[in-house]
Structure 1
Amino acid sequence: MKFESPMLVVADINKSVQFYKELFGLEVVLDFGANKTLTGGLALQTLETYKEFIGKDDISFGGNNFEIYFEEDDFDAFAMKLKDYDIDYVHPIIEHSWGQRVVRLYDPDKHIIEVGENIKMVCKRFINTGMTVEQVAKRMDVPIDYVNACLK
């Protein structure tokens, strides 16, 4: 057995495809009409067909108990891109204690999406401010070897 992909149930599959295409650059790689698989393996399924599949009508969105995670090398550029969209944020950009910047937002069906700064880029950002490898390791609470590996 192997895990294939996450699948999100969506109210408007075309709206969702457009959202993931515009904001994240994902493309449809398999199109079965009511089910579409996007680059990266994310699958979208229409609400109507999913209700049929499971034999239940009580589908709810916005449970805040699951998220899809993306990493971005150029986090600043992505943050600027977000300004061009009417985004419903879970929270604005924050910086975690280890230095990684993240933002969480909702897709059109209230599924949570987290976009985090690539951790290698966090290391490089700290180094570019003049911190030593040892200081970066301490700041990020990771081994020095990890920081060195990120800088290669």
Structure 2
Amino acid sequence: MAMKFMGAAIMVADVARSRQFYEGLLGQAVEMDNGPHVAFAGGFSIWQKDHAHEVIFGGPEAGAQAMGRANLELYFESETLEQDCQALAVAGVEVIHGLTEAPWAQMTARFKDPDGHIVELAEPLPLVVRRLLGQGLSLEDVARRTSMDVAIVRYMAEQ
């Protein structure tokens, strides 16, 4: 398996407050703002806890625990997503959910590490863009579907 660690998403109670802390107080540059999810140039992101739990567990209260438990996700990307998910399942890794298309069209699966931390394995975003373009969507349609700026979609399409 050739997986590459891509960063961590920290679940937060209030994205605006947390963004102010990381951007305003710590000087972190915002790379992408998708509303409930804000990515910073330093390689980490913040994700509104209730939205994150809806996407991951299927409901805002499902899996809810004290902050510091089910509110941190380690994010990896793989170009061989299906094979890697199968290998993890064969190895007995606990599956939160198998391959699923996220609301932003990225194929993703989530597992738990030995300590119960959430680990996401997903297709690289440039592959998402190329997959959607291959399905006949325009650059603008892909931007709307993925919540990315058209310029970012265009760049990813050319990678």
- When normalised by structure 2's length, the TM-score is 0.51
Q: How far apart are 1:25 and its partner, in Å?
A: 8.2
Q: Cα distance 1:82–1:135, how it changes in 2: closer, same or farther (>3 A)?
A: same
Q: Distance in 2 between matches of 1:143 and 1:75?
A: 25
Structure label with greater radius of gyration:
1
Q: Secondary structure at the match of 1:102?
A: strand
1:19-78 deviations in Å (ceiling 9; x for gaps):
xxx79589xxxxxxxxxxxxxxxxxxxxxxxxxxxxxxxxxxx93232221112232332
**Equivalent-residue separation in structure 2 for 1:25 and 1:148 (angstroms):** 23
Structure 1 unmatched runs, 5+ = 1-21, 27-61
The answer as to 2:86 corresponding to 1:103 is no
SS, match of residue 93 in structure 2: coil
Match of 2:157 in 1: 151
Q: Which amino acid aligns with 1:110?
A: G
Contact 2:105 2:128 in 1 (8 A): yes
Residue of structure 1 equivalent to 2:132: 126
Structure 1 residue matching 2:90: 3-state secondary structure = coil
Which portions of structure 1, spanning 4 or more consecutive aligned residues, are displaced by more than 4 angstroms?
Answer: 22-26
Q: Which residue does 2:118 correspond to in 1?
A: 112
> Cα gap change, 1:23/1:121 in structure 2, threshold over 3 Å: closer, same or farther?
closer
C-alpha separation between the residues in 2 aligned to 1:63 and 1:23?
27
Aligned equivalents of 1:68, 1:137: Cα separation in 2: 25
- Give me the whole-angstrom Cα distance separating, in 1, the residues matched to 2:148 and 2:3: 29
Name the residue aligned to 2:30. none
TM-score by length of structure 1 reads 0.53
